[in-house]
C-alpha cells in the first residue's frame, strides 16, 4: 500500500508535477522521486461520493505489484512516522510559513462508527491528516497542521485578528477541494453568503459559522429528545429577484446530547464547525406586518448542522 504522489522523476532525472505533465501528449516513463520505484500518471477525473459528483486531482501512483523502498517517505509505514514527527500545532505551522490546513470533519454518523472500529494507529494517522492527501517532495505543499475542532478554528481566528494579512494566505483542504478563508469562515452578517456558497458546492464541504445564541429548545421526536440551538438570524437584505422581498438566513445546530449545550446561554457567541446543510425546500416565508414599508414579505433561508462530536461547537470568549 502506498500514498498518492504529486511529483515524479523522468528516466533522465527531471522532476515533473502531476499538475503540469498532463499537457504532454504522452507521459514519459516515470519513477518515484525518492526510491526510483516505477510509477504511472493518473489524470484528473470525476468520481461519485455520497451520490454527488466530485473532481479528483491528477496524481502519480505505483505500478501494480510494485512497492516503495521501506525507507521511502511514500511508503505508508514511513508516512505514519513522518506524520508523528511533523504534526505541528497551528501557531508553529504559521511561524514556519505554512498556511494550508487539512479539514477533518464528520459528515455522517456512519463515519463515527467506522473510525471507532479502526485500529488505534490508523485513528492516530487520521488525527494528523491522511498521508495520501499531502505528501510531496516540495515541503511548501506539506499540510503540517489540521483543523478538526471548533477550538482550533478559534485559535486561527485569533491569529487572523492579530495579523490582518494572514487570512489572505490561508487555504483549507477537504476531499481534494481547497478554499480560502472567506469561503470557510462566516460570521452572522454573512450567513446568507454561506447559504449560497453551500448551494454551489458539488460535494459537502465543512465550514465555520459564528453567531449569537437566540435560544435552545427541546423537541420530542420518535420517542427521543433532540436539542436545537438557534442562532440569531442574519440582517435582512433585498432579494435579488424582487427588491420588495427581504431575505435573511437562520442557522440551527441539532444534537441528542443535552450536556453539549447546557453551558451555553442566550446572547453567547458560539463557533460551530462541520458539514452545514442548506435547505432548498423549506424556506420560511413571512408576510410583512402593517407598517412595514420596506418589504412586503421575507424569505428565511435555513442552515442546519448535526453535531456528531462535542468538539464541533465552542463558546467564543468576549
Examine residue 93 and state whether it is found in any structural domain, yes or no: no
Q: How confident is the model at residue 194 (pLDDT cuts 50, 70, 90)?
A: very high
Name the domain boundary from 27, 43, 72: 72
- Between 127 and 187, the more confident residue is 187
- Between 219 and 201, the more confident residue is 219
Q: Which of 162-171, 228-237, 256-265 has the lowest mean pLDDT?
A: 162-171
How many domains are there within the chain? 2
Examine residue 223 and state whether it is found in any structural domain, yes or no: yes
Examine residue 192 and state whether it is found in any structural domain, yes or no: yes
Name the domain boundary from 32, 49, 72: 72
Examine residue 28 and state whether it is found in any structural domain, yes or no: yes
Name the domain boundary from 47, 72, 97: 72
Alpha helix segments (H runs only) across the chain: 76-86, 90-95, 109-117, 120-128, 131-134, 150-162, 181-184, 191-200
CATH of the domain at 256: 2.40.50
Examine residue 267 and state whether it is found in any structural domain, yes or no: yes
Q: How confident is the model at residue 97 (pLDDT cuts 50, 70, 90)?
A: low
Between CA 25 and CA 123 the distance in angstroms is: 41
Examine residue 116 and state whether it is found in any structural domain, yes or no: no
Examine residue 247 and state whether it is found in any structural domain, yes or no: yes
Residue 262 has pLDDT above 60, yes or no: yes
Q: SS3 for 66?
A: coil
The cell numbers describing 239, all together, are 432579494
Give the pLDDT of residue 201.
82
Range of 52's domain?
Answer: 1-72
Share of residues in the chain with pLDDT > 70 (%): 73
68 and 190 housed in the same domain: no
Between CA 226 and CA 230 the distance in angstroms is: 13
Specify burial of residue 24 (Cβ count, 10 A radius: 0-12, 13-18, 19+): exposed
Examine residue 109 and state whether it is found in any structural domain, yes or no: no
Amino acid at each position: 500500500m502506498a500514498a498518492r504522489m504529486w511529483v515524479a522523476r523522468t528516466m533522465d532525472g527531471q522532476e515533473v508535477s502531476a499538475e503540469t505533465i498532463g499537457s504532454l501528449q504522452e507521459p514519459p516513463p516515470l519513477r518515484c522521486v525518492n526510491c526510483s520505484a516505477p510509477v504511472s500518471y493518473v489524470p484528473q477525473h470525476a468520481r461519485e461520493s455520497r451520490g454527488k459528483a466530485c473532481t479528483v486531482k491528477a496524481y502519480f501512483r505505483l505500478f501494480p505489484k510494485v512497492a516503495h523502498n521501506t525507507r521511502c517517505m511514500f511508503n505508508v509505514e514511513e508516512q505514519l512516522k513522518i506524520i508523528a514527527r511533523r504534526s505541528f500545532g497551528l501557531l508553529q505551522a504559521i511561524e514556519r510559513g505554512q498556511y494550508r490546513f487539512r479539514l477533518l470533519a464528520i459528515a455522517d454518523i456512519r463515519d463515527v462508527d467506522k473510525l471507532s472500529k479502526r485500529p488505534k494507529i490508523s485513528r492516530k494517522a487520521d488525527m494528523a491528516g491522511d498521508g495520501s492527501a499531502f505528501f510531496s517532495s516540495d515541503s511548501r505543499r506539506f499540510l503540517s497542521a489540521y483543523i478538526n475542532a471548533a477550538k482550533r478554528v478559534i485559535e486561527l481566528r485569533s491569529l487572523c485578528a492579530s495579523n490582518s494579512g494572514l487570512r489572505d494566505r490561508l487555504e483549507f483542504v477537504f476531499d481534494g477541494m481547497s478554499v480560502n478563508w472567506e469561503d470557510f469562515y462566516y460570521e452572522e452578517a454573512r450567513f446568507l453568503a454561506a447559504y449560497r456558497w453551500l448551494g454551489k458546492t458539488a460535494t459537502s464541504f465543512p465550514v465555520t459559522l459564528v453567531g449569537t445564541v437566540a435560544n435552545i429548545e427541546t423537541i420530542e421526536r420518535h420517542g427521543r429528545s433532540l436539542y436545537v440551538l438557534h442562532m440569531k438570524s442574519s440582517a435582512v437584505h433585498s432579494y435579488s429577484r424582487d427588491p420588495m422581498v427581504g431575505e435573511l438566513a437562520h442557522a440551527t445546530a441539532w444534537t441528542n446530547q443535552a450536556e453539549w449545550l447546557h453551558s451555553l446561554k442566550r446572547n453567547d457567541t458560539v463557533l460551530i464547525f462541520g458539514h452545514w446543510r442548506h435547505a432548498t425546500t423549506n424556506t420560511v416565508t413571512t408576510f410583512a406586518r402593517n407598517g412595514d414599508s420596506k418589504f412586503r414579505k421575507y424569505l428565511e433561508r435555513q442552515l442546519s448542522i448535526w453535531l456528531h462530536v462535542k468538539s464541533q461547537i465552542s463558546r467564543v470568549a468576549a
